Amino acid sequence: MEYDGGDIMKEAGILSKEEIEKVTPPLDRAEKGPVAVIECLEKIPCDACGWACPFDAIIKERITVPPKIDYDKCTGCGQCVLVCPGLAIFLIELDGEKAKVTVPYEFLPEPRVGQEVVALDRRGLPVTKAKVLKVMRSKDKTLAVTIEVPRELFMEVRGIRI
């Protein structure tokens, strides 16, 4: 299973419905455990995600070409979420009626496990309330925050507000 980057088009910095379908991992893979969702819009010179992945799941054919991901190699470790300067990588995991969504977070105060936060969509608009399940931290203090949301929101929620 592979998403090949392809022609992700920029529309006001927000993915269109078709683009969201294109970057959505296979649902059977997302039901087995966390998996990365790469929403890299720009053909910018960046390969931080490719270098960060310990499992060679992300391939950059050229530095300005959007990354490819091999969903079968991805373990959902979250290292790519922590290093992406574009805040364009997320993790999703489906579990019955619920979904876990991991988003990058660079603001203060830092969220705490168990805290209730507001889940935001790609435009920064509130979608629902959500509970913080996990907080990962990079060396430069970027956080990857995992929250629990209703399953139908797994490709909508892309940020949090405390």
Report if residue 145 touches ligand SF4, rule: CB under 6 A.
no
Report if residue 25 touches ligand SF4, rule: CB under 6 A.
no
Nearer to ligand SF4, 86 or 150 (CB): 86
Residue the block writes with tokens 């979420």: 81
Window of 3-11, 77-85, 122-130, 148-156 that interacts with ligand SF4 by CB under 6 A: 77-85
Distance CA 22, CA 7 (A): 10
- The residues pairing with 38 across neighbouring beta strands, listed in sequence order, are 89
Report if residue 92 touches ligand SF4, rule: CB under 6 A.
no
Window of 25-33, 66-74, 121-129, 136-144 that interacts with ligand SF4 by CB under 6 A: 66-74
Handedness of CA 41, 161, 69, 62 (dihedral sign): positive
Task: Evaluate whether 2 touches 68 at the Cβ level (below 8 Å).
Answer: yes
Report if residue 40 touches ligand SF4, rule: CB under 6 A.
yes
Distance CA 2, CA 61 (A): 14
Window of 19-27, 51-59, 108-116, 123-131 that interacts with ligand SF4 by CB under 6 A: 51-59
Distance CA 63, CA 40 (A): 13
Q: Report the interface residues with ligand SF4, using CB under 6 A.
A: 36, 38, 40, 46-49, 52-53, 55, 57-58, 67, 69, 74-80, 84-86, 88-89
